[in-house]
């Protein structure tokens, strides 16, 4: 189980989310949700514009389209595609991985794009609608591969620029506390597409893809005018990106070492969660009795939990140790996967789906905070590398899982690999955080 960076994040988020660009906006505008944001707080344009709730909800709708539909609609439709013989598990793994590869490319390319956010968001919404419809109209795997790759690229661009726009507009109004609402969008999209997918059981996948394209239209239409370009939008966005992408001279060796740790450890959940996220309905359908209505409900449960996690994570005090929080999140996701292995029942999968989704966006949030602790206002570059590592994990996950499943005839070995990777990441963050706390106590004792 997507933001995407950010958010969202998953998310997604997912991220997997390009947290780099969200960090650049948040760090350039304000250091805390309640802090004064400088001259932008009195921007007359901001005063005349929509309120913070409308801004946050508009961005959430964009994330629902870009991530909930553009990236993750594949999950509830995969069982239909398998049942109708359109592809097998191996080809399903390739379609998932090529989409994550597109997201990886899109996230890394965002820093080089100099088009203002609103135009990117509008273009991304239109492209997501077209690419989703193309999956229902084009005839086979050879056509689907490039479509899913492009959908990944577009979802990254749309997520990043919508999050940038939303965080900047909220900062202008001293309302960054509404940022958590933005990152509920991916979870909302997952819930809706999952519930619709559940009604399509026994049917062909093509109407599902076309229906999801229509859903994207219905989500995009009410917010279209919110993303009309404003005077000076491109200049402000370019100035913010240049400020965030500037180097940080004199960074000492310890900070560089810690930055490398963050990048490496942040890749673990990308690999760990994605195997379950990609194949959850397939796994559940194979474990539960034939005809059970539950398999199609677990994916929406994941999305609902992700929404709760986005709001809850943004409310935790910033003074808490991000490394220990990340260790806890990784451990929760590992436990979620274990539940599906050792308790393959409706209750086990339901609880596992919730535990997998709950920390999904919080992982990105805590990693963003840790990057700011290490690099301050220049954290965007660090989170860019971390997001890339997360993306590589997402690409590798389905590619590793598909052949393992084909040889073993079961998802269990692949899921245990995911658990091991998550626990290794949790141990790494826990050891790092506890060692730092021990050094701080020693310094305090020496000072006394």
Q: Mapped to the 3 state alphabet, what secondary structure does 25-52 carry? A: HHHHHCCCCCCCCHHHHHCHHHHHCCCH
Directed axis angle between helix 141-172 and helix 89-109, to 10°?
40
Distance CA 431, CA 429 (A): 6
Residue 200: DSSP 8-state: T
pLDDT tens for residues 126-137?
999 999 999 999
pLDDT in tens, 307-335: 999 889 888 887 899 999 999 999 999 99
Q: How far is CA 364 from CA 104, 209, 274, 323, in A?
A: 15, 29, 15, 12
Query: Tokens 């001279």, residue?
Result: 249
pLDDT of residue 15: 40
Residue 19 pLDDT > 50: no
- In 3-state terms, the chain is what percent helix, strand and coil (to 5)? 80, 0, 20
* DSSP annotation of 16: B
Sign of CA dihedral 368, 374, 376, 382: negative
Domain residue extents for the chain: 19-447
Handedness of CA 122, 126, 129, 132 (dihedral sign): negative
Predicted confidence (pLDDT) per residue in 25-41, tens digit: 444 444 333 333 333 44
Average pLDDT for 50-78: 94
Higher pLDDT, residue 95 or 362: 95
Radius of gyration of the chain (CA): 21
Residues 223-280 pLDDT 10s: 999 999 876 555 555 555 555 444 455 557 888 899 999 999 999 999 998 888 878 8
Beta bridge partners of 16: 14
Gap between the Cα atoms of 12 and 424, Å rounded: 22
Helix (H) or strand (E) holding 97: helix 89-109
Structure tokens at 413: 């070995």
Q: Which CATH class, in words, describes the domain spanning 19-447?
A: mainly alpha
Q: Which residues of 337-357 are buried (b: 16+ CB within 10 A; e: fewer)?
A: bbbbbeebebebbbbbbbbbb
Q: Tell me the percentage of the chain whose pLDDT exceeds 90.
A: 49
Q: Can you give the pTM of this predicted structure?
A: 0.79
């Amino acid at each position: 189980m997507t933001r995407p960076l950010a958010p969202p994040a998953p998310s997604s988020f997912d991220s997997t989310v390009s947290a780099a660009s969200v960090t650049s906006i948040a760090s350039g505008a304000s250091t805390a949700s309640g802090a004064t944001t400088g001259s932008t707080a009195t921007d007359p344009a901001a005063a005349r514009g929509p309120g913070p709730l409308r801004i946050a909800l508009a961005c959430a709708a964009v994330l629902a389209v870009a991530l909930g539909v553009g990236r993750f609609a594949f999950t509830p439709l995969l069982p239909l595609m398998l049942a109708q013989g359109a592809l097998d598990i191996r080809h399903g793994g390739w379609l998932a991985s090529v989409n994550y590869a597109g997201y990886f490319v899109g996230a890394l390319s965002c820093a080089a794009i100099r088009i203002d956010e609103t135009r990117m968001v509008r273009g991304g919404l239109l492209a997501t609608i077209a690419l989703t419809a193309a999956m229902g109209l084009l005839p086979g795997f050879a056509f689907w591969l490039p479509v899913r790759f492009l959908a990944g690229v577009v979802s990254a661009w749309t997520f990043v620029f919508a999050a940038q726009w939303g965080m900047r507009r909220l900062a202008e109004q001293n309302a960054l506390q509404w940022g958590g609402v933005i990152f509920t969008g991916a979870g909302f999209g997952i819930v809706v597409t999952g519930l619709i997918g559940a009604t399509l059981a026994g049917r062909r996948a093509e109407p599902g893809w076309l229906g999801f394209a229509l859903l994207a239209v219905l989500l995009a239409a009410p917010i279209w005018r919110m993303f009309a370009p404003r005077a000076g939008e491109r200049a402000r966005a370019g100035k913010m990106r240049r400020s965030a992408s500037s180097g940080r001279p004199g960074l000492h060796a310890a900070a560089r070492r810690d930055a490398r740790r963050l990048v490496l450890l942040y890749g673990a959940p990308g690999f760990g969660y994605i195997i379950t996220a990609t194949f959850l309905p397939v796994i559940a359908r194979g474990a539960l009795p034939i005809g059970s209505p539950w398999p199609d409900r677990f994916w929406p449960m994941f999305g609902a939990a992700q929404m709760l996690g986005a709001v809850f994570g943004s409310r935790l005090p910033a003074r808490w140790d991000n490394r220990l929080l990340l260790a806890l999140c990784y451990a929760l996701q590992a436990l979620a996967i274990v539940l599906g292995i050792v308790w393959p029942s409706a209750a086990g999968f339901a609880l596992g789906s919730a535990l997998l989704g709950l920390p999904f966006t919080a992982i990105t949030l805590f990693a963003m905070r840790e990057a700011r602790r290490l690099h301050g206002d220049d954290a965007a570059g660090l989170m860019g590398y971390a997001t890339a590592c997360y993306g590589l994990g997402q690409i590798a996950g389905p590619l590793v899982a598909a052949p393992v499943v084909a040889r073993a005839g079961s998802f269990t070995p692949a899921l245990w690999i995911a658990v091991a990777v998550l626990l290794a990441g949790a141990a790494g963050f826990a050891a790092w955080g506890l060692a730092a706390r021990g050094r701080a106590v020693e310094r305090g004792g020496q000072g006394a």
